[in-house]
């Protein structure tokens, strides 16, 4: 029974993802849906990035911690420079400095 469930979920997931590719060009999405889809990458990135910044060992920690402060600094660098390499370097250096010198 477990294999039937796993395969069914896999097929449903595949169909949901391939539907946008297979139907592309045949149907025009409403403007409100197209507008909402612009925010999907940022929402997905936030869902991936924020939990490790605010939760450690399964508990909520203060936003004033080295990881969160370094992430805010790196976000600011990304916003100002639009340079991925500079963003990574500034975030890593800030995290190292905060962990080893400040906190």
Span 17-61, pLDDT tens digits: 898 788 777 888 889 988 998 999 999 988 998 898 888 888 888
- 34 and 50 belong to one structural domain: no
**Per-residue pLDDT at 103 exceeds 80:** no
* The model's pTM: 0.63
Q: Are residues 44 and 74 in the same domain?
A: yes
Half-sphere exposure of 37 (CA within 13 A, CB side): 7
pLDDT by residue (tens digit) across 57-99?
A: 888 888 889 999 999 999 999 999 999 999 999 999 999 999 9
Same domain? For 26 and 60 the reply is no
Which residues form the domain of 89?
Answer: 39-103
Count of the separate structural domains present in the chain = 2
Whose tokens are 């962990």? That residue is: 99
């Amino acid at each position: 029974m477990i294999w039937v469930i796993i395969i069914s979920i896999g097929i449903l997931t595949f169909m949901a993802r391939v539907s946008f590719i297979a139907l592309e060009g045949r149907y025009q999405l409403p403007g409100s849906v197209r507008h909402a889809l612009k925010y999907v990458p940022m929402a997905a990135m936030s869902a991936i990035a924020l939990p490790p910044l605010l939760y450690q060992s399964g508990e909520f920690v203060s936003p004033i911690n080295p990881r969160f402060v370094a992430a805010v600094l790196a976000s600011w660098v990304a916003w100002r420079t639009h340079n991925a390499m500079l963003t990574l370097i500034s975030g890593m250096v800030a995290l190292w400095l905060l962990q080893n010198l400040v906190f």
